[in-house]
């Protein structure tokens, strides 16, 4: 935990500096007759973030904070593997929406998740994977009138409108 906390505060400090620099695209000082410039609010808050990060880092190094004394590990191997599998499959699902649309990518995601991670029997997996896109379509597109991305499958849906 100690190491992870140190790395995190360093990364967040860099993020804060980036946000400060980015805020400077707009005036950060006082504009006569206009009040504070458009960049002032984010700039000074990012500066505050930076100060917090620096202190978190220093307190950790001097072992003054609970994180600085913690010997607990951030994530064990097994958890990390599960975590990465979930994260990658989720990203692939979202990526596939761009190409094959949401109605192909949702069932694929269900099949992978329930079969690979859940080890559920095929009939159950297929029942849920195939009913999910139908329910999504009926609820969002028909009931709430929100059109969802369909990628190359766009034409298949013309008959429904």
CA angle 44, 49, 51 (to 5 degrees): 95
Site for another protein, residues 20 to 39, rule: CB under 8 A: 22-23, 25-26, 30, 34-39
The minimum distance between CB 161 and another protein, in angstroms, equals: 16
Confirm if 97 and 150 have CB atoms less than 8 A apart. no
Q: Taking CB under 8 A as the rule, does residue 17 contact another protein?
A: no
Binding mask 102-121 for another protein (x = CB under 8 A): x---x--xx--xx--xxxx-
Q: Which of 14, 94, 99, 134 binds another protein (CB under 8 A)?
A: 94
Site for another protein, residues 51 to 70, rule: CB under 8 A: 52-53, 55-56, 59, 65-67
| Helices 122-136, 102-111: crossing angle, 10 deg rounding | 160
The minimum distance between CB 94 and another protein, in angstroms, equals: 6
Dihedrals φ, ψ of 36, to 5°? -65, 145
Q: Which of 138, 137, 156 is nearest to 148 (CA)?
A: 137
Q: Taking CB under 8 A as the rule, does residue 87 contact another protein?
A: yes
What DSSP line would sit under 22-87, residue for residue? HHTTS--SEETTTEE-TTHHHHHHHHHHHHHHHHHHHHHHTT-SHHHH----S--HHHHHHHHHHH
Residue 30: strand pairing partners: 36
The minimum distance between CB 52 and another protein, in angstroms, equals: 4
- Binding residues (CB under 8 A) for another protein: these are 4-5, 8, 12, 19, 22-23, 25-26, 30, 34-39, 41-42, 45-46, 48-49, 52-53, 55-56, 59, 65-67, 74-75, 79, 82-83, 86-87, 90-91, 93-94, 97-98, 102, 106, 109-110, 113-114, 117-120, 128, 132, 136, 139-140, 143-149
């Amino acid at each position: 935990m100690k190491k992870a906390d140190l790395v995190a505060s360093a990364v967040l400090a860099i993020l804060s500096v980036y946000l400060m620099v980015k805020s400077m695209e707009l005036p950060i000082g006082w504009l006569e007759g206009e009040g504070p410039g458009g960049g002032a609010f984010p700039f000074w808050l990012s500066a505050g973030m930076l100060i917090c990060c620096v202190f978190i880092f220093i307190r950790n190094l001097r072992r003054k904070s609970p994180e600085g004394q913690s010997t607990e590990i951030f994530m064990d191997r097994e958890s990390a593997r599960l975590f990465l599998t979930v994260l990658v499959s989720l990203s692939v699902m979202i990526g596939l929406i761009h190409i094959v649309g949401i109605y192909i990518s949702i069932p694929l995601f269900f099949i992978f998740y329930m079969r690979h991670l859940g080890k559920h029997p095929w009939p159950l997996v297929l029942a849920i994977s195939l009913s999910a896109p139908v329910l999504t379509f009926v609820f969002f597109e028909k009931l709430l009138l929100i059109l969802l991305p369909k990628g190359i499958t766009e034409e298949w849906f013309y008959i429904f409108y």
